[in-house]
């Protein structure tokens, strides 16, 4: 039997936006806030699949290729801290319907293929810090970055030599 892999569907951030976000993060949070997420790992998770078999991964890859979803844009204009999970994040105050629908369809396909889905409502966000378990002084606002979502991807989360790396396995375009 082949090994299981830890997979998730996500929206990536363009390289320019990754750089802007990490510069803003360094300017606005003290170093002791938590474990900063690497620039290349900044993303918005659409559906977390967990550790899954190659067979399930193939089924979900086929399903993803058949999804007809539209391009959308969103403004990253919200910031927060979840002390329980130790995540400091940026997100959006107004999630576009197209984003909610894309996440919902991916989550329901994931659930139908046996990938446990959280019952918590979908809260689109980019994790900036992990292990942020102490109180964090949250800056009053973000610079209101615009994110144009033109595609979504399947990623594999790999943990090697003390580092997490997200490897993009496949990308699908969103329609005009
Ligand atoms: P997070 O950034 O809020 O931690 C890869 O692990 C991605 O899947 C992360 O962005 C993570 O979200 C998300 N994810 C969602 N549910 C998860 C879970 N149960 N375990 C690990 N990661 C999860």
**% of the chain exceeding 90 in pLDDT:** 97
pLDDT at 135: 96
pLDDT at 76: 98
pLDDT at 139: 95
CA–centroid distance, residue 70 to ligand 1 (Å): 24
Residue spans of the domains in the chain: they are 5-173
State ipTM: 0.91
Pocket probe for ligand 1: among 45, 128, 129, 167, the residue whose CB has the most ligand atoms within 8 Å is 45
Q: Do 119 and 23 form a contact (C-beta atoms < 8 A)?
A: no
pLDDT at 1: 55
125 flagged as catalytic = yes
Q: How many CB atoms lie within 10 A of CB 176?
A: 6
DSSP string for residues in 21-49 = HHHHHHHHS-GGG-EEPPGGG-EEEEEEE
E strand residue ranges, the chain: 5-12, 35-36, 43-52, 72-76, 78-82, 87-91, 125-130, 145-149, 151-160, 163-173
For the CA atoms of 166, 147, 117, 158, the dihedral, rounded to the nearest 10 degrees, stands at: 0
Computed over every residue of the chain, the mean pLDDT equals: 97
Residue 153 has pLDDT above 80, yes or no: yes
Cα(84)–Cα(52) distance, rounded to whole angstroms? Answer: 26
Express each pLDDT in 44-73 by its tens digit.
Answer: 999 999 999 999 999 999 999 999 999 999
Does the beta carbon of 9 lie inside 6 Å of ligand 1? no
Length of the chain: 176
Per-state percent for the chain, helix, strand, coil, to nearest 5:
30, 40, 35
**CATH H-level superfamily of 5-173:** Cyclic phosphodiesterase (3.90.1140.10)
116 flagged as catalytic = no
Residue 176 has pLDDT above 90, yes or no: yes
Express each pLDDT in 120-135 by its tens digit.
Answer: 999 999 999 999 999 9
**% of the chain exceeding 70 in pLDDT:** 99
Q: How many CA atoms lie within 13 A of 120 on its CB side?
A: 6
User: pLDDT tier at 148 (50, 70, 90 boundaries)?
Assistant: very high
């Amino acid at each position: 039997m082949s090994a299981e892999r830890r997979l998730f569907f996500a929206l990536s951030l363009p390289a320019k936006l990754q750089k802007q976000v990490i510069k803003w993060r360094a300017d606005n949070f003290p170093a002791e806030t938590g474990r900063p997420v690497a620039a290349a790992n900044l993303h918005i998770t659409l559906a977390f699949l967990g550790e899954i078999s190659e067979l399930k991964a193939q089924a979900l890859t086929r399903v993803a290729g058949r999804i007809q979803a539209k391009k959308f844009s969103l403004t990253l204009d919200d910031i927060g801290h979840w002390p329980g999970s130790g995540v400091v994040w940026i997100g959006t105050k107004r999630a576009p319907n197209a984003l909610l629908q894309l996440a919902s369809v991916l989550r329901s396909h994931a659930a139908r293929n046996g990938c446990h889905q959280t019952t918590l409502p979908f809260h689109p966000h980019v994790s900036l810090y992990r292990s942020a378990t102490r109180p964090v002084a949250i800056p009053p606002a973000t610079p209101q970055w615009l994110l144009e979502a033109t595609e979504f991807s399947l990623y594999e989360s790999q943990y090697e030599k003390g580092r997490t790396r997200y490897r993009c396995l496949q990308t699908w375009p969103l329609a005009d």
